């Protein structure tokens, strides 16, 4: 999904106000009743547009990229499909983890789809002048497609404090017994093409991660770059959220020894697909999908609903309540 100092980017690029990662945080965080979207809403991405919010998710019910809108983060209304037509290189049915970023002239959506020619999952980009879409992709090929690394999934855009744009993603190595890593590459100002070279950042190595790290999300706090990510088995209660810290969007990054940050607890199992949102009143939230403990996985009636938890800081350490 997602924002990331987009308020500053908006001033630089002449765009509408979106998320400001460094907005002042109110001392009293309001209560939200979870899940805020009580249906299947996997791999969420949240975008703030003034005092409205947009939420996007992985395909479900024949919709490539479901999009919802809210005025208060609690009550959401479906707006249909934000990506109704896939590009020619992609096959339907496997469109995952859309991420929307404010760019020059509008919004870029990064999405994962099945690369028809190879059968792998790859990353595409689409554009719209409105956050709700429809987003249109006219590219004849994917934006990122590491076929030698198993494919590429879970793209996430980031706007740095200087207005420069970056794209983070995962090489899909766990699809075929290869290493799984998180990557980054600079984006052009319009968000629709890459510049420079890709950099590999971290790989699965901590015990809790198993063979998977994925769903990268970059967040800048107090001069430090926090690379949040998910790890473990996605359709189990072992799925969880960790993070690594760096001093630059390009790294290097060091994983926290206290990982995971967010894990199965109470009424939420296998939280993941995380992101960070600062609301219009300055409250900072971590959002994520999660299973109900008694219904984990498909097709046993499980759903990955959308949840919010306050994100606080203990010095340089993030704390999710």
pLDDT tens digits along 127-186: 999 999 999 999 999 999 999 999 999 999 999 999 999 999 999 999 998 999 999 999
Take residue 63 and report the two structure tokens written for it.
Answer: 């919709």
From CA 100, how far away is CA 150, in angstroms rounded? 24
Work out the average pLDDT over 189-217: 96
**Domain boundaries along the sequence of the chain:** 6-320
State the DSSP string of 219-259.
EEETTEEEEEEEES-TTSTT-EEEEEEESSTT--EEE-TT-
Q: In this predicted structure, what is the pLDDT of residue 12?
A: 32
Q: Determine which of 21-25, 163-167, 225-229, 308-312 has the lowest per-residue pLDDT on average.
A: 21-25
Mean pLDDT of the chain: 91
Q: In this predicted structure, what is the pLDDT of residue 169?
A: 98
pLDDT tens digit string along 76-94? 999 999 999 999 999 999 9
Q: Are 277 and 303 in contact (CB under 8 A)?
A: no
From CA 163, how far away is CA 154, in angstroms rounded? 22
Q: In this predicted structure, what is the pLDDT of residue 300?
A: 76
From CA 216, how far away is CA 218, in angstroms rounded? 7
- Predicted confidence band of residue 16 (pLDDT cuts 50, 70, 90): very low
Q: Are 5 and 15 in contact (CB under 8 A)?
A: no
From CA 107, how far away is CA 137, in angstroms rounded? 12
Q: Are 281 and 294 in contact (CB under 8 A)?
A: no
CA 82 to chain centre: 16
Buried b or exposed e, range 257-277, using 16+ CB within 10 angstroms? eebbbbbbeeebbbbbbbbbb
Q: In this predicted structure, what is the pLDDT of residue 240?
A: 98
Q: Are 160 and 220 in contact (CB under 8 A)?
A: yes
HEC string of 53-87 equals EEEECCCECCECCEEEEECCCCCEEEEEECCCCCC
Burial of 23 (0-12, 13-18, 19+ CB in 10 A): middle
* In the predicted structure, residue 5 carries a pLDDT above the cut 80: no
Q: In this predicted structure, what is the pLDDT of residue 321?
A: 81
Work out the average pLDDT over 235-239: 97
Burial of 299 (0-12, 13-18, 19+ CB in 10 A): exposed
Work out the average pLDDT over 111-118: 98
Q: Which CATH number fits domain 6-320: 3.40.50.300, 2.30.30.230, 1.10.3720.10, 2.115.10.20?
A: 2.115.10.20
Q: In this predicted structure, what is the pLDDT of residue 274?
A: 98
Q: In this predicted structure, what is the pLDDT of residue 27?
A: 52
Q: In this predicted structure, what is the pLDDT of residue 146?
A: 98
Would the pTM count as exceeding 0.75?
Answer: yes
91 or 10, greater pLDDT: 91
Cis peptide before 20 (omega within 30 of 0): no
pLDDT tens digit string along 41-79? 999 999 999 999 999 999 999 999 999 999 999 999 999
Q: In this predicted structure, what is the pLDDT of residue 306?
A: 98
pLDDT tens digit string along 246-259? 999 999 999 999 99
Percentage of the chain modeled with pLDDT above 90:
88
């Amino acid at each position: 999904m997602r924002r990331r100092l987009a308020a500053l980017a908006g001033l630089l690029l002449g765009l509408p106000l979106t998320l400001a990662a460094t907005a002042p945080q109110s001392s009293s965080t309001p209560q939200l009743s979870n899940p805020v979207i009580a249906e299947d809403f996997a791999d969420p991405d949240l975008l703030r547009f003034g005092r409205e919010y947009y939420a996007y998710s992985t395909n479900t019910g024949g919709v490539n990229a479901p999009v919802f809108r809210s005025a208060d983060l609690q009550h959401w209304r479906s707006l249909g499909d934000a990506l109704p037509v896939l590009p020619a290189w992609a096959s339907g049915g496997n469109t995952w983890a859309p991420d929307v970023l404010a760019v020059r002239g509008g919004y870029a959506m990064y999405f994962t789809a099945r690369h028809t020619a190879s059968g792998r999952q790859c990353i595409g980009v689409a554009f719209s002048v409105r956050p709700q879409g429809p987003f249109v992709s006219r590219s004849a090929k994917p934006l990122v497609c590491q076929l030698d690394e198993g494919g590429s999934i879970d793209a996430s855009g980031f706007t740095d404090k200087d207005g420069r744009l970056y794209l983070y993603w995962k090489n899909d190595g766990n699809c075929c017994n290869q290493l799984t890593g998180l990557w980054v590459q600079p984006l052009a100002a319009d968000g629709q093409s890459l510049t420079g070279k890709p950099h590999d950042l971290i790989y699965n190595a901590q015990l809790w991660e198993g063979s998977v790290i994925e769903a990268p999300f970059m967040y800048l706090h107090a001069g430090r770059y926090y690379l949040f990510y998910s790890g473990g088995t996605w359709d189990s209660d072992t799925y969880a959220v960790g993070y690594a810290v760096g001093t630059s969007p390009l790294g290097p990054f060091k994983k926290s020894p206290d990982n995971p940050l967010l894990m199965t607890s109470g009424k939420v199992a296998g939280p993941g697909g995380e992101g960070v949102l600062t609301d219009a009143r300055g409250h900072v939230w971590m959002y994520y999908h999660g299973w109900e403990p008694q219904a984990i996985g498909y097709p046993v009636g499980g759903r990955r609903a959308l949840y919010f938890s306050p994100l606080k800081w203990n010095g340089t350490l993030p704390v999710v309540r």
